[in-house]
Amino acid sequence: MKRIPTFLLGAVVGVALTVSASTYAASAGLIGKKITSEVPIVLDGKKLSEKGSVAEGTTLLPVRSLAGAFQAGVEFKDGTVYLTTSSASTEGGASALDDEAKQGKIALLNQQIQEISERIAAAQASYDETQKTIENAKAYPELADFVEITTKNNEKTKATIDQLEAEKATIEAQLKALQQ
C-alpha cells in the first residue's frame, strides 16, 4: 500500500520538473542561447561595420549602430532601450518614415506579437498542467511541502504570463498607432 503514494510522489515530482523547465524555456526568450552565426548588415546598399548575430533563428541587430544609421537617439534606462527619431515632415506633411520603412516596422511588430503569443501559450499550458498536478497532489497529506513549493513556482509562472501579456499589449498599441 505504501508503494502507491511513493510512486505517485515520483510521478508528481517528475511532471513538476518537466513543466517548470518548459515554463522557464518559454519565458526566457533568447537569453543564454547560443549564437550560431553572424551576418553582415547592408543599409541602402552600404555595408555597416557591425554585424548581426543569429540565435535560435532570430537575427539580433546592434541597436546603437542601427540607430546611428537611421539618425535616431538611443537611451538605456531602467532595463529598457529607448529609441527616438526626429519628427521631420516632408513637403506633403507626411512623416519622415517612408511607406516601405513603415511596412517593415509593421511586419516586425506583427512578428514580435506572434512570438510573444507563442510564449504566452506555452507558459499558460505549463501553468494549467501544473495546476492540475497541484490539485491531484493535495489529496495526499505527505505531499504538502511539494504542493507549497510547486504552488509558489506556479505563481511565478503566472507572473511571467502577466508580464508577457503587458509586453504584448504595449507592442499592439505601437502597431495600432503606426497603422493609423
Beta carbons within 10 angstroms of residue 143's beta carbon:
19
Q: Residue 23 corresponds to which cell in the numbers above?
A: 515554463
Please check whether residue 51 is in contact with residue 57, taking contact to mean a CB–CB distance below 8 angstroms. no
Provide, rounded to the nearest whole percent, the portion of the chain with pLDDT above 70.
62
Q: Given the DSSP bridges, would you call strands 46-55 and 58-60 parallel, antiparallel or unpaired?
A: antiparallel
- Cα separation, 137 vs 139, in Å, equals 5
In sequence order, what E strands does the chain have? Answer: 35-43, 46-55, 58-60, 73-77, 80-84
| 88, pLDDT greater than 50 | no
Poorest-confidence range of 50-64, 109-123, 132-146, 162-176?
Answer: 50-64
Higher pLDDT, 16 or 168: 168
- Cα separation, 48 vs 45, in Å, equals 9
pLDDT-derived band at 143 (thresholds 50, 70, 90) equals very high
Q: What is the pLDDT of residue 119?
A: 96
pTM, two decimal places:
0.51
Q: What is the pLDDT of residue 55?
A: 73
